[in-house]
């Protein structure tokens, strides 16, 4: 399964224009003009970016994980990093609306990085798009216009904070609208991947990583009341990644937030995540990210 680690590589694959910012792209055709259309079909792929789109598809289905994502008639959809996407040539893309894509590292070290994990509309468990009323659509479009204005202008030291603040506002409105849409419906059962990640988050938030070290796959499987083999096989089928890869991705993701605290040494970051030997953490980080924890810290200061 093909995976795209950068926003530029992902947009290039989609046959969309290069982004103005290495970690953020905004395509908008709210008023006049047309949205660029992505490639007409794709086998299963994954990437490290969040995507928010309005009225991008009017016909056909997007395979999102093991389900089909319904956004017939055009609506607001949310896609998260490392979720498996697939579509074919039967899809018809509308050329009005907007599409915002940003790499997960764009919001690292901000309050939004923690908030975004709580929004269920980015998960597999919500496979229906958000259908907006005309009033709601105008509210979302106004926020996107502000984001686009900041994105298109000469960016300065304040631009990123302003855009992240506007994204946070957009997600809060979307959360309100989703609660309205699903007020009288039973939520879909969570996928095993979500349950797996929730176990890791609970373990991390309780301080057990530093106290007891990194949990074994067997421990997590036991908490989920499934066998280790079943957990491994199901996650591999659902996401294309093994349980060990998911565990490592979670640890690397959390490490990025901690690394942005300049007062912590690399060794302290490693110990906070349950690594007994800091050099192993550094090797794993470089293997997954292509640069060392120190290089990541320096690179982020530049963006």
Residue 147 pLDDT class (50, 70, 90 cuts): very high
The pLDDT value given to residue 32: 65
Round to whole Å and give the CA distance between 202 and 72: 36
Tokens at 185, concatenated: 């419906």
The predicted-structure confidence for 172-223, as pLDDT tens digits, reads as follows 999 898 887 766 554 444 577 778 888 888 888 888 888 888 999 999 989 8
Q: First vs last Cα of the chain: how many Å apart?
A: 29
The predicted-structure confidence for 16-69, as pLDDT tens digits, reads as follows 899 989 999 999 887 666 777 778 788 888 899 999 988 655 556 666 555 565
Handedness of CA 277, 282, 285, 286 (dihedral sign): negative
- For the chain, domains (ranges, CATH) are 2-181 (2.60.120), 192-302 (1.10.10.60)
The predicted-structure confidence for 55-112, as pLDDT tens digits, reads as follows 655 556 666 555 565 555 457 888 889 888 887 766 666 667 899 999 999 999 899 9
Is the distance from CB of 152 to CB of 24 less than 8 angstroms? no
The pLDDT value given to residue 198: 85
Is the distance from CB of 162 to CB of 148 less than 8 angstroms? no
The pLDDT value given to residue 188: 46
Q: Residue-wise over 111-146: b if at least 16 C-beta within 10 A, else e?
A: ebbeebeebbbbbbbbbbbbbbeeebbebbbebbbb
> Residue 108 burial (CB < 10 Å; 0-12/13-18/19+)?
buried
Round to whole Å and give the CA distance between 263 and 272: 13
Q: Which residues have C-beta within 8 Å of that of residue 187, sequence separation ≥ 6? A: 120, 125
Residue 279 pLDDT class (50, 70, 90 cuts): very high
The pLDDT value given to residue 201: 87
The pLDDT value given to residue 67: 56
Q: Which residues have C-beta within 8 Å of that of residue 183, sequence separation ≥ 6? A: none
The pLDDT value given to residue 143: 95
pTM: 0.72
The mean pLDDT of 139-144, rounded to a whole number, is 93
Of 48-57, 110-119, 270-279, 287-296, the poorest mean pLDDT is in: 48-57
Length of the chain: 303
| Of 122 and 150, more confident | 150
Tokens at 300, concatenated: 């982020």
């Amino acid at each position: 399964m093909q995976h795209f680690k950068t926003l530029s590589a992902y947009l290039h694959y989609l046959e969309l224009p290069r982004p103005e910012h290495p970690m953020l792209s905004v395509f908008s055709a709210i008023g006049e003009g047309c949205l660029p259309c992505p490639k007409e079909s794709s086998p299963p792929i994954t990437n490290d970016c969040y995507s928010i789109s309005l009225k991008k598809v009017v016909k056909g289905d997007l395979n999102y994980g093991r389900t089909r994502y319904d956004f017939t008639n055009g609506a607001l959809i949310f896609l998260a990093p490392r979720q498996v996407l697939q579509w074919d040539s039967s899809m018809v893309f509308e050329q009005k609306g907007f599409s915002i894509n940003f790499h997960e590292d764009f919001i690292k070290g901000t309050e939004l990085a923690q908030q975004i994990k709580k929004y269920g509309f980015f998960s597999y468990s919500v496979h229906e798009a958000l259908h907006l009323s005309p009033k709601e659509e105008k509210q979302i479009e106004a926020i996107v216009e502000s984001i686009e204005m900041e994105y298109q202008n000469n960016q300065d030291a304040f631009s990123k904070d302003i855009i992240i603040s506007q994204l946070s506002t957009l997600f809060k409105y979307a959360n309100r609208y989703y609660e309205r849409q699903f007020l009288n419906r039973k939520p879909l059962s969570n996928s095993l991947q979500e349950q797996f990640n929730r176990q890791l988050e609970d373990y991390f938030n309780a301080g057990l990583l530093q106290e007891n070290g990194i949990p074994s796959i067997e421990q997590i499987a036991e908490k989920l009341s499934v066998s280790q083999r079943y957990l491994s096989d199901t996650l591999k089928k659902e996401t294309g990644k093994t349980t060990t890869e998911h565990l490592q991705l979670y640890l690397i993701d959390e490490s990025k937030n901690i690394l942005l605290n300049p007062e912590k040494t690399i060794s302290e970051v490693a110990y906070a995540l349950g690594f007994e030997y800091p050099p192993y953490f550094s090797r794993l980080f470089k293997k997954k990210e292509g640069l060392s924890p120190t290089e990541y810290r320096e690179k982020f200061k530049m963006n």
